[in-house]
C-alpha cells in the first residue's frame, strides 16, 4: 500500500482474467491509490472482469471491442461524463489468428495481417487520441509489447511485425503529445502464461528457454510488470517519454545461451 497514485484516475483495457498482464497492473495501481475504470471485450469476459474490478473498488466497467470504433467512442464519452478528465491509460490488447502464430511469417495472409495490425497496433493510436482529449492536465499512456518486435522469435510472426509498428507508434505519439504534457511509453514484457500468450505455438518452450537463459534465470510475473507500469504511470517517471522499457529478466541483452544451459 502506498500513495503514489493518489488523486489519479485512469482506464485499464485488456483484462481477460486474473492472469492478464493488465490485471497485474491494475492491482498495483489500485494499491497506490489510483481510481480505475475497466473495459472488457464481450459479455463472456465481462462476467470474469466484473468481480475483479469490484474487488479493487471500481464501479466503472464498459464493454469495448477496438474493432468497433463506436464502442471505443462510447468508452471515452462515458469517462468524460463520469470523471470529466483522466490521468492515465493502459493498453494491454493484442490479437492475431492462432493459425498464423505458427509456421512461417512468410505465409501470413493479407486479411490477418490487417486485422492484427488494427487490433494490436493502430488501436493504441486511436485510444491514445481519445484519452489525450480528456487529459487537460497532461497524463501518461502505456502499451504492452514484446521483444519479438526487433528480433525473430519463432512462431511470433505477424505479431512481431505489429509490435515493431506499435513501438514506432509509441515514439511518434510521444512526440505528438509531449507538448501537452502527455507521456507515451511501452513495457516490453518477457513471456508470461496468459490467454493471449497461450495462442503462440510452442509457448511452453519459449517460456522454459527464457527461464534457462535470461540473466535472472526466471520469467517475470504480472506483478513485476505492474511495478514498472506504476513507475511509468506515476510522477516518478515525469521526465520519461517515448521509451520501450524491458521487464524480461534481462533476456533482451543475451546473444548466446549460457554454456551451463547448453550442457544440461
Ligand atoms: P490476455 O489474453 O490476458 O489479454 C489480451 C487482451 O486483449 C484480452 O483482455 C482481450 O480481451 C483483449 N483484446 C483482444 N482483442 C481485442 C479487441 N478486438 N478489442 C478489445 N480487446 C481485445 O493476455 P496478455 O498476455 O495479458 O496480453 C496483454 C498484452 O501484453 C498484449 O498486447 C500482449 O501482446 C502483450 N504481451 C504479452 C506477453 C506474454 O507473454 N503474455 C509478453 C509481452 C507482451
Does the beta carbon of 21 sit less than 6 angstroms from any atom of ligand 1? yes
Catalogue the active-site residues. Answer: 146, 156
Report the nearest-CA residue for atom 7 of ligand 1: 93
User: How many other C-beta atoms can be found within 10 angstroms of the C-beta atom of residue 25?
Assistant: 30
Does the beta carbon of 246 sit less than 6 angstroms from any atom of ligand 1? no
| Percent above pLDDT 90 for the chain | 96
Residue-wise pLDDT for 103-124, tens only, equals 999 999 999 999 999 999 999 9
Q: What angle do CA 227, 164, 203 make, to 5 degrees?
A: 65
**CA end-to-end span of the chain:** 42
3-state helix, strand, coil in the chain (%, to 5): 50, 15, 35
ipTM of the complex: 0.99
Q: Which atom of ligand 1 is nearest to the CA of 21?
A: 26
Q: Which atom of ligand 1 is nearest to the CA of 197?
A: 41
Residues 156, 108 contacting (CB under 8 angstroms):
no
Does the beta carbon of 146 sit less than 6 angstroms from any atom of ligand 1? yes
Nearest to 251 by CA among 125, 146, 176: 146
- Domains of the chain, earliest start first: 9-263 (3.40.50.720)
Consult the annotation and say whether 163 binds a ligand. Answer: yes
User: Which pLDDT score, from 0 to 100, does residue 210 have?
Assistant: 94
The helix (H) or strand (E) run that includes residue 81 is: helix 69-83
Consult the annotation and say whether 225 binds a ligand. Answer: no
Q: How far apart are CA 186 and CA 176, in angstroms?
A: 16
Does the beta carbon of 93 sit less than 6 angstroms from any atom of ligand 1? yes
Chain mean pLDDT for the chain: 97
pLDDT classification of 140: cutoffs 50, 70, 90: very high
User: Which pLDDT score, from 0 to 100, does residue 264 have?
Assistant: 65
Does the beta carbon of 14 sit less than 6 angstroms from any atom of ligand 1? yes
| pLDDT greater than 80 at residue 37 | yes
Consult the annotation and say whether 39 binds a ligand. Answer: no
Consult the annotation and say whether 93 binds a ligand. Answer: yes
pLDDT classification of 258: cutoffs 50, 70, 90: confident
| pLDDT greater than 80 at residue 31 | yes
User: Which pLDDT score, from 0 to 100, does residue 1 have?
Assistant: 86
Residue-wise pLDDT for 56-99, tens only, equals 999 999 999 999 999 999 999 999 999 999 999 999 999 999 99
| pLDDT greater than 80 at residue 146 | yes
User: Which pLDDT score, from 0 to 100, does residue 6 have?
Assistant: 98
pLDDT classification of 257: cutoffs 50, 70, 90: confident
Average pLDDT over residues 222-238: 98
Residues 4, 236 contacting (CB under 8 angstroms):
yes
Amino acid at each position: 500500500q502506498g500513495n503514489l497514485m493518489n488523486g489519479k484516475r485512469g482506464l485499464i483495457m485488456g483484462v481477460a482474467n486474473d492472469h492478464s498482464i493488465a490485471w497485474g497492473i491494475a492491482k498495483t495501481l489500485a494499491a497506490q491509490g489510483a481510481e480505475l475504470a475497466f473495459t472488457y471485450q464481450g459479455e463472456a469476459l465481462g462476467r470474469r472482469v466484473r468481480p475483479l474490478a469490484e474487488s479493487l473498488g471500481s464501479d466503472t466497467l464498459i464493454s469495448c471491442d477496438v474493432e468497433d470504433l463506436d464502442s471505443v467512442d462510447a468508452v471515452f464519452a462515458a469517462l468524460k461524463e463520469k470523471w470529466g478528465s483522466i490521468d492515465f491509460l493502459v493498453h494491454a490488447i493484442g490479437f492475431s489468428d492462432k493459425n498464423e502464430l505458427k509456421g512461417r511469417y512468410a505465409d501470413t495472409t493479407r486479411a490477418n495481417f490487417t486485422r492484427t495490425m488494427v487490433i494490436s497496433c493502430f488501436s493504441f493510436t486511436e485510444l491514445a487520441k481519445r484519452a489525450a482529449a480528456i487529459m487537460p492536465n497532461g497524463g501518461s499512456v502505456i502499451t504492452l509489447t514484446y521483444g519479438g518486435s526487433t528480433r525473430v522469435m519463432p512462431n511470433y510472426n505477424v505479431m512481431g511485425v505489429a509490435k515493431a509498428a506499435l513501438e514506432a507508434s509509441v515514439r511518434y505519439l510521444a512526440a505528438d503529445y509531449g507538448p501537452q504534457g502527455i507521456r507515451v511509453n511501452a513495457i516490453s514484457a518477457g513471456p508470461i502464461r496468459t490467454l493471449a500468450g497461450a495462442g503462440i505455438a510452442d509457448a511452453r518452450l519459449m517460456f522454459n528457454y527464457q527461464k534457462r537463459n535470461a540473466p535472472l534465470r526466471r520469467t517475470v510475473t504480472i506483478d513485476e510488470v505492474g511495478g514498472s507500469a506504476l513507475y511509468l504511470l506515476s510522477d516518478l517517471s515525469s521526465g520519461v517519454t517515448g521509451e520501450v522499457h524491458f521487464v524480461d529478466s534481462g533476456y533482451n541483452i543475451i546473444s548466446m545461451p549460457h554454456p551451463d544451459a547448453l550442457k544440461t
